[in-house]
Chains A and B, each alone.
Chain A
């Protein structure tokens, strides 16, 4: 091992992240090379300093009131009633303060994510529960002025769970619901003009938005960004 290879790996050595052979090689190099050995000792000293001082705030904080408050929250959870109330309260607050808190483009992504969260509460995820696209797609006929896509994505692990009528930005919207493992994806389709960024992350939920054929599409989920992108690419590719 030479210095050029060793230097970026000093941190990994310190953190015990090197595999055994690499770690042994590193030890040999540190025994031979003063410059790297010095760098390594500085890293060790920093670690000692941090440990001596202690980064642990909890050790000097009485967490009992916090624990009590959380426990009260959890015990008060009359699911889903309380959650729905919380979302309603959030919406009221958002209506009052939204303009001040958010950049103009934030309002719609916020609304779609709130909608996604609301759909997870209680039992109103779908109006028409079905894993068959030939059941879900016709169900929307006559209820909306358009026909939303409901492609079969089960070969990629996204199982169709059903459809639901929704409202986005005051316009009727179709919600097509998919599941991957325990994650729910809400695919919302509406004629409402979409504003806001292509990708938004709010409250731990990810939202991707795009336009196609005069419609706006949103996909909201707690899937990570890469998986959500995979989902959106599939929908874009397969359409109906």
Chain B
């Protein structure tokens, strides 16, 4: 049992950050992301017998992704809609100085744009731009064909460019 655990930890600890990032981008807040990652590691440990060689990161992130989607669907039965459709602009509520400051910053602007991407595009983008995964690895995590990865990435980028890099701004 101890050997098994040590082996598990050696394989999967290095990917805790990646797991957290993916969960955070999928569920949208730190608290739920931690729950999802914790549950994913437990599940990965339980199923580690089914992991044979292969790439531990791809294997773990696939579990994180499934756990996150299950979580979203459990949380709101309508999550399928939120998952597949582009999220609405966040409503501008009562003035909140802290939020206003965040909104002003470029970082918040870009991150909000990423967060508003439909889930399918967002996960592909995060795995590519943040995890630096190859198309083949992304396809394995998402369990979709390579062509689907390519089209989702391209859709994600076009939506982001529309929002973040308007053509009139210098024409680049």
Contact = CB atoms under 8 A, between A and B. Distances in A.
Given A53-B111, A202-B70, A204-B62, 16 more contacts: A15-B128, A17-B134, A43-B157, A50-B114, A55-B25, A56-B130, A58-B21, A66-B38, A70-B42, A75-B5, A101-B77, A120-B46, A204-B47, A204-B66, A222-B50, A225-B143
Query: What are the 7 tightest A-B residue pairs by CB atom distance, in nearest-first order?
Result: A58-B17, A53-B110, A57-B24, A55-B130, A204-B66, A70-B41, A53-B107
A181 B52 contact: yes
10 contacts: A11-B153, A11-B157, A15-B135, A53-B111, A57-B24, A63-B17, A65-B34, A69-B34, A120-B46, A222-B47
A238 interface: no
Interface stretch (B81-89, B92-100, B160-168): B160-168
A74 B40 CA distance: 12
Interface of A: 8, 11-12, 15, 17, 38, 41-43, 45-47, 49-51, 53-58, 61, 63, 65-67, 69-70, 73-75, 77, 79, 83, 101, 103, 120, 181-183, 201-204, 222, 224-225
Nearest to A75: B5
Contacts of A38: 171-172
B20 interface: yes
Interface residues of B, number: 54
B164 A74 contact: no
Interface of B: 1, 5, 8-9, 16-17, 20-21, 24-25, 30, 33-34, 37-38, 41-43, 45-47, 49-52, 62-63, 66-67, 70, 74, 77, 106-107, 110-111, 114, 126, 128-130, 134-135, 143, 150, 153-154, 157, 160-161, 164-165, 171-172
Contact of B8 (A50, A74, A183): A74
A182 to B, nearest CB: 5
A55 B26 CA distance: 12
A176 B25 CA distance: 40
Contacts, number: 126
A53 B160 CA distance: 14
Contacts of A225: 143
Given A67-B16, A202-B70, A42 B165 contact: yes
Nearest to A78: B1
A12 B157 CA distance: 12
B20 A61 contact: yes
B132 to A, nearest CB: 9
B161 A42 contact: yes
A61 B30 contact: yes
A203 B39 CA distance: 10
B9 A12 contact: no
B157 A101 contact: no
B126 A55 contact: yes
A45 B135 CA distance: 21
A42 B110 contact: no
A57 B17 CA distance: 9
Contact of B20 (A43, A57, A181): A57
A184 B172 CA distance: 53
A203 B70 contact: yes
A202 B66 CA distance: 8
A210 B25 CA distance: 36
B135 to A, nearest CB: 5
Given A42-B165, A61-B20, A66-B20, A203 B66 contact: yes
Nearest to A58: B17
Nearest to A41: B172
B72 to A, nearest CB: 13
A17 B135 contact: yes
